[in-house]
Structure 1
């Protein structure tokens, strides 16, 4: 396979390219390795929302932190806006971080309880030395209004707000530097169902207004289908299926994706597919196809040989021997 070239590209080129990303940790006993992310490649177009789904422990959040270089990959390459992120000097990486931001799952844990809301939202501007005190205050006020809060929040503290309001504050902080990419790591899973739709609508509105690109991580397939252009399905550190949201979530091909989709109420006429057992530990990845111990359609070859990635004319891809 031809390796992607990270060069200064025209505005129509991909915003983000990840090439064969790997993150291994030492196992608990110190004698083996845990394969948190194990050879993931993806691209993100400008203005696109890429959904990433999978069970807890599949590597979704680790992948997000690798892309942002919050943790260092064991191997692999990352290209962002035409630059090789892994080759950047610290000063240039610091500048690049203005274009790559993240919204975390727990809005309360991600906000410093000792800081006022005004200080929290202004902190990225302070770190990067942007604007005078008056300019920063005006910017913070504008950001509060943009996410549906008013100026009275400036001098208040995180504990004085509801979960949905705190997530709005986290979003305001994330867009303060006018980034190109926003990674949303389970941004509504900690919120009441009645509030989730409000935050999703806010994110959709901000994406259009600010020309953002999103990576949207979630275990809720209904939410992912609502906001995503394309979807990646992860299992035990690997991408097992990808395609448009319609291809993956309405016409799933991989048995694992079929099982995930069947758990959504009313999504599958044949009823829910209940997988046997729990996902294997990343410290004990099965031979052959990683999904074969739980797969209801397992073949003999699945137990011994890793499946190839099979593409289709529509751009979909699946790692499964059923299609080889």
Structure 2
């Protein structure tokens, strides 16, 4: 289980954007977190994925409290997460090809020998072609989740997926294809999902349950 316990977080301790928020995602469960832009849901997602240290509260991963954040997190915990961000161009090194983006998490964790076969498999899974459009970047981010030095959804077979506005820049057909790819991975692996967004219709159709941000902040 992924447990977010009474988290307070932000970028200025005097004015946190997340205040005493708790949320759980069960093994294999998909939870949608719905809220308007700027409410703090993306900050909560970064805390959940161990990418941002909270001011107060606790993240518990499969029964074990997190004791480090970003590169200081234990490898077993940080590789338990795959993260896809809203803006793929900002979360991927522009010097790398799409093939290199997908392979980078494997190489970074000493599993480079697996890269050629995994790259081919994952490129087919997320429908990558030879383009470098925003949709292609999002697809490569979905395959590798190449936030800086951060291993992700399919490359390292994580147990928890965090999708932060993953489909915000995409058309309807690409959105459907990527959601299908995520769900195929979850069906195969049993991974849990926290999907952050402001599209109520999409989240309610996609996820087992949808939580509204104002419900969390009232609790």
TM-score by length of 1: 0.60
Contact 2:135 2:169 in 1 (8 A): no
Q: 2:143 aligned with 1:172, yes or no?
A: yes
CA offsets per residue over residues 57-113 of structure 1, 9 Å max, x none? 11100001111221111110111012111369x776233211112001122332222
Deviation at residue 161 of structure 1 after TM alignment = 2.4
Contact 1:164 1:195 in 2 (8 A): yes
Q: 2:200 aligned with 1:224, yes or no?
A: no
Please provide the CA RMSD for this pair: 2.2
- Cα distance change, pair 26–96 in 1 and its aligned pair in 2 (3 A): closer
- Cα distance change, pair 91–74 in 1 and its aligned pair in 2 (3 A): closer
Q: How many aligned positions are there?
A: 211
2:103 aligned to 111, 122, 130, which one?
122
Point out where structure 2 has 5 or more consecutive residues left out of the alignment.
145-151
Larger Rg, first or second structure (1 or 2): 1
Deviation at residue 209 of structure 1 after TM alignment = 2.2
Q: What is the alpha-carbon distance in structure 1 between the residues aligned to residue 165 and residue 66 of structure 2?
A: 25
2:216 aligned to 239, 248, 251, which one?
239
Q: 2:88 aligned with 1:107, yes or no?
A: yes
Q: 2:3 aligned with 1:17, yes or no?
A: yes
Contact 1:20 1:39 in 2 (8 A): yes
Q: 2:174 aligned with 1:195, yes or no?
A: yes
Q: What is the alpha-carbon distance in structure 2 between the residues aligned to residue 194 and residue 143 of structure 1?
A: 19
TM-score by length of 2: 0.87
Moved over 4 A (4+): none
